[in-house]
Structure 1
Amino acid sequence: MVVKPVEDIEQFAKQIRYYTLKQFITMGFGHYGGSLSIVEALAVLYGKYINSTPENMNDLTRDYFVLSKGHAGPALYATLYLKGFFTADWLLTLNGNATRLPSHPDRHLTPGVDMTTGSLGQGISAATGIALGNKIAGRSNVTYVIVGDGELNEGQVWEAIQMASHNKLDKLIVLVDDNKMQLDGPTKAISHPHDYVLKFESFGCYSKRVNGQSVVAIDEAIQWGLNNQDKPTVIVLDTVKGQGVKVIEEMANNHHLRPDAATTEAITREYEALGQAIGVSK
């Protein structure tokens, strides 16, 4: 574990948000909302905990990360770029012809991606399998996975959680991006989730809810999870869809955007302000 000051992780989050927006602004459309809501979680995970590097990707003892909500791939790509897995010009090719950065992560195309994801519900199953395989092999590395709140409508998620609990996968840490919105409306209106913490606890997991906009709260929750034994840990992140970009946060429907000229201009102003905050002009 690399201990970094919280200021460094907050700066890392600003960098991830900036380069996530850069991809969308270049392409002109995309899954803005759900990408932005996981930025702080990615900053803590890759800024402090996940020990994957371009040099150790074939090391079976390293940590693993699965982005089960694969439509948030651009936030992961921004993170991997900042960690040195590929060069900045790749970010300008998001979802283009012959790109190495497809709309949803593909482990055969993008260095640093551990699991191909996109069909919701399947990523958490893959992460459970990775954690189980590592346990059987006697390894102590950690598998981290981010799932979406809308994704929790999928029964496959709960089958995976039950299997993880049954096998006492205490090296599996699940982060739920509870941004309260999904493709076609508020999560509560589509399928009321009730209390996520109680639900995961009833499936045999450690679980708690934390402020998903705070790198300090996320950090403390992950430390708590790493100390837990004999059960998986589920951290429910209380987030906002479009997190960190005011104009997108305030939209009623921001799952996938093809913004008009005025909205693009407003997003670009916030993007440029982020660039100034991290010392990048464009």
Structure 2
Amino acid sequence: MEIRELQAKAAQIRMDLLQMIFRAKTGHTGGSLSNTDIITALYYRIMNIDPAQPKAADRDRFILSKGHSVESLWAVLADKGFFEKEQLATFSQFGTKLIGHPNNKVPGIEMNTGALGHGLAVAVGMALAAKRDGVRYRTFCLMGDGEQAEGSVWEAAMAGAHYKLDNLIAIIDRNRLQISGSTEEVMGLDPLEDKWRAFGWNVMVIDGNDMQALIESLEAVPSVPGKPTLVMANTVKGKGVSFAENVPHWHHHVPNETELEQALTELSAVFEFYQTEGQGR
């Protein structure tokens, strides 16, 4: 997809995930909205994946370490054809496979996540396996910024650099808000990029809600041979919904009917704008 098409797709995914959360009366709204551009860029432009062969040996791997923000991922996997889109209506309902965190019973999910701090360690293992087996797949791991307070993240970071895993790309959804408030008030992280550089990683700092910046950075990796890459994606929690942006309450707020209608109106306008621009009209 071209940039304009990706921007339109991201607006569509945001609409889908909001309707999922509204129907289910549960979900992590703010973080799913902030990471939508990242996941859209990966699945529609960057990663080597095939919904018809979800277990292909040479597929790129993706781990959503911030597993609570799964709604955007479910919407993308359905849209890509990993499962029928009608299943989105069962999100968080009794007996569904589409639970509130990634579930590897669903095609396209590499591992169950949700216990923060575990995703990067598994991603290191996948990337190391690729190196040792001589397979040319890449492993992408999306983390939250609040997750950076977990010690296991830094153990994994040290291992990734030690084994020179330049086929490993970690991304931080740096929206600066977590469930109990600002990340810098809860557990100060800055200067976060300097810490990752000190652990031996190639660090790229970008606007994580800028599709052009996302594509340019992700298409450039691995940009430093012998080093894993960390993409610090500065994002806005609640991105795309004006009254939810940068509002801590929207971490897991479920929109009411009025809020949903207003949000869908805003996102529909964005979708139509980029779709029209993408068609050259």
**Fold match by TM threshold 0.5:** yes
**Secondary structure of 2:165's aligned partner:** coil
Match of 1:231 in 2: 227
Residues 175, 229 of structure 1: CA spacing in aligned structure 2 closer, same or farther, 3 A cutoff? same
Alignment of 1:197 with 2:193, yes or no, is: yes
What amino acid maps onto 2:188 in structure 1?
H
Deviation of the 1:276 alpha carbon: 6.1
2-structure distance, mates of 1:218, 1:62: 21
Match of 1:155 in 2: 151
Task: Determine if contact 1:70/1:117 at 8 Å carries over to the other structure.
Answer: yes
Q: What is the aligned partner in structure 1 of residue 245 from structure 2?
A: 249
Q: How does 1:1-282 map to 2 (within 5 A)?
A: 4-108=1-105, 110-259=106-255, 261=256, 264-275=257-268, 278=271
- For the residues of structure 2 that align with 1:50 and 1:40, how far apart are their CA atoms? 14
Does the Cα contact within 8 Å between 1:65 and 1:144 map onto a contact in 2?
A: yes
- Offset at 1:184? 0.8
1:250 deviates by 4.9
* Structure 2 Cα separation of the partners of residues 35 and 188 of structure 1: 20
Contact 1:41 1:212 in 2 (8 A): yes
Shift, 1:29, TM fit: 2.6
Shift of residue 58, structure 1, vs aligned partner: 2.2
Q: Deviations over 1:109-147 (max 9, x none)?
A: x11111110000011111111111111101111101100
Looking at structure 1, the residues matched to 39 and 252 of structure 2 have their Cα atoms a distance apart, in angstroms, of 20
Q: 1:90 to 1:200 in 2, by over 3 A?
A: same
Displacement of 1:224 in angstroms is 2.4
Verify the 8 A CA contact 1:53 1:112 in the aligned structure 2.
Answer: no
Runs of 4+ in 1 over 6 A off after TM superposition: none
Q: Percent identity?
A: 34
The letter of the residue matching 1:120 is: L
Give me the TM-score of the superposition, normalised by structure 2.
0.93
2:52–2:82 CA contact under 8 A, matched in 1: no
| Aligned-pair CA distance for 1:248 | 1.2
Stretch deviating more after TM superposition (22-31 or 212-221): 22-31
How far, CA to CA, are the matches of 1:258 and 1:7 in structure 2?
29
Contact conserved, 2:236 with 2:246, CA < 8 A, in 1? no
Q: Distance in 2 between matches of 1:85 and 1:61?
A: 17
- Listed as ranges, the gaps of 5+ residues in structure 1 are none
CA distance in 2, matches of 1:278, 1:81: 18
TM-score (norm 1): 0.92
* In structure 1, distance between residues paired with 2:243 and 2:61: 34
Unaligned ranges ≥5, structure 2: 273-281
Would the aligned equivalents of 1:245 and 1:267 in 2 still touch at CA under 8 Å?
no
Report the CA distance between 1:51 and its aligned residue. 1.8
Q: Is the 8 A contact 2:83 2:107 kept in 1?
A: yes
3-state SS of 2:204 partner: strand
Q: Across the two proteins, how many residue pairs are aligned to each other?
A: 272
In structure 2, the CA distance between the partners of 1:227 and 1:18, relative to structure 1 (3 Å rule), is same
Taking the aligned partners of 1:246 and 1:274, their CA distance within structure 2 comes to 10
Distance 1:250 1:179 in 2: 8
- Structure 2 counterpart of 1:12, which letter? K
State the Cα deviation string for residues 128-173 of structure 1 (Å, max 9, x = none).
1111111110111110110000000000000001001000000001
